[in-house]
Structure 1
Amino acid sequence: MKYLVTGAAGFIGARVSEKLCQAGHQVVGIDNLNDYYDVSLKQSRLDKLAAFASFRFQKLDLADREGMAKLFADEQFQRVIHLGAQAGVRYSITNPFAYADSNLVGTLCVLEGCRHNKVEHLVFASSSSTYGLNKKMPFATCDSVDHPVSFYAATKKANEMMAHSYAHLYGLPTTGLRFFTVYGPWGRPDMAPMLFASAISADKPIKVFNHGDMSRDFTFIDDIVAGILLCADNVPKPDPNWTVEQGTPASSSAPYRVYNIGNGSPVRLMDFIAELENALGKTAEKIMMPMQDGDVKATWADTDDLFKAVGYKPQVGIKEGVKAFADWYRGYYGQS
């Protein structure tokens, strides 16, 4: 099978590409290698992938309309896993146009490439951030996601609607996955686990927002990747009995599905920090801070529909996952 993986130098994209190559697939990975965070970490992920003869990388911006059209026409992908995006909730407050370019225009270029080249299945990244002001726990795909609290979340909601329109108009099978707080080896430096590990290792204080009264459905990277690959093999079909009035917004009369992908077991932020302190062998000095703009107090994924569809069941608990992350962190950054 021939795959396109967008965001292939990213945290999730690199691991997905690695697993696809190990399974014997051909993978073309693209990424614009922007400097939102340390480019050397992105390059290190790509260096790992260079060991696979079945992997090829092309530096390409998602919003490059002509470049993307040529890529799709030349390569004739069978499946596309679209993980490339401008990430980060808080950065979307200060630089919203980066999100419009990458997440909106870029996703449109992916959809157009899939449409014109008969891609058999598009799997794309959405986010738990789409739940916004929703306070019902756990978050379920039957819930409303019409009230985002960040522009980043708004672009992810828009991606779902864009994908549905292409599924409806052109019969393009699409599956959207709302990721819940992914962590683990090779993680993003702008996310809490890496920020905490960096500060704790350097004997610097960490900022703990909402005075620590937060929880997240922390999900280990390998569980996320396993779910993505299960979904890639599960091509959605139209549901002829679906109606707007009686059906879930996560399904359709078009070949379209949206799933939560998370651990399904939220962890208090202070408990996560304690596990990381234990794994690093150091106690953090904590500066208690108010809630940040665009943030939410808690996330918790209802993954029942994903289990029913593909048998998805996370395997890695928080203690095991944090230890694996801490071991990688010390090795990569040369910490004793």
Structure 2
Amino acid sequence: MTMHKTAQVSIDAMIDDLRALVETESPSHHPGALRASAHAVAAVVERRLGGRAVLVESEAGPHVHWAAGGDPKVLILGHHDTVFPLGTLARRPFKAEDGRATGPGVFDMLGGLVQAVHGLATLDDRSGVEILVTADEEVGSHSSRTLIEERALACGAVLVVEGAADGGALKTGRKGCGTFQVSIKGRASHAGLEPEAGVNALIEAAHQVVDIASLGRPGIGTTVTPTVASAGTQSNVVPAEATVVVDVRVESAGEKERIESAFAALAPHLEGAEITVDGSIHRPPMPESASAELMAVAEQLMPGLEGTAVGGGSDGNFTAALGVPTLDGLGAVGGGAHADHEYVLIDAMAERARLVAGLVNAIQTA
């Protein structure tokens, strides 16, 4: 099984569509911008594939859903929200030059969306294909998770068009990930006159950071990383409150349970201090077994293609946890996600569009 090299994919048309999406800024938590972005995504889908793309309203912003009709067989999954604030485009406008497309969100993950749409456009038969482009992946997919899981179960196979891993590898496994916030309540007092009368929330936070960091087990893929801390109001006041935010990544369900139990069991070191813990590992691990069947097909379509497990999470974590075959990293080849040097390799776009088309065709005819 190999891809049809003659499938017509226009690089110029893909660049035009990518420009349209990038130039419609779409930061998470900005309903107005996300609404405009959803309309832009829907317009690209309808222009290239026909039919009607439906905007699914949510508190996060509109998700975009398109279905070709027929019995559901495969879900193309992506998101249109990005991490860059409004105004980034003025500082870093879209460009396509020297073999690279650049601009906010071009790699994560607007390039992948464009490739998938243009790949599907080469297929005469699109029956059973659905596209879901969500508005809140970058901030946890809280409003879209139910819809993602519903359509994944209905379709029975999921192709996630997040950007490829280093070197163009597909993403065959992902760690589960989550965020915890540890809030500490102490008691304020004058730092010079009677510091002993207070309960120093900053000192308690320091104890907690050491305890929390010790939960990591890098040897088995568990990382527990305190990332943001805050405490205090004035230089002469014993801090009454402090917070510590922690990023957690795990490779197994057992580690998810251990870490969540450990956070629930955190106890104060200082007499009079109180601790409250919020959060969870909300994206379950995506085991490599979930991608094995589809990865084998991808390797037949593109000999030499590699797969790798990565630490970052995506909406593919949710679908894989349901037992739905899921293959990730089918989007743009490039790099710099969430950074100013974000880019897409233009020469790889047509090949990756054809890869998506080949996978869809293989699923349809299986």
TM-score, normalized by the shorter chain, greater than 0.5: no
More helix by share: 1
What TM-score, normalized to structure 2? 0.30
More strand by share: 2
What TM-score, normalized to structure 1? 0.32
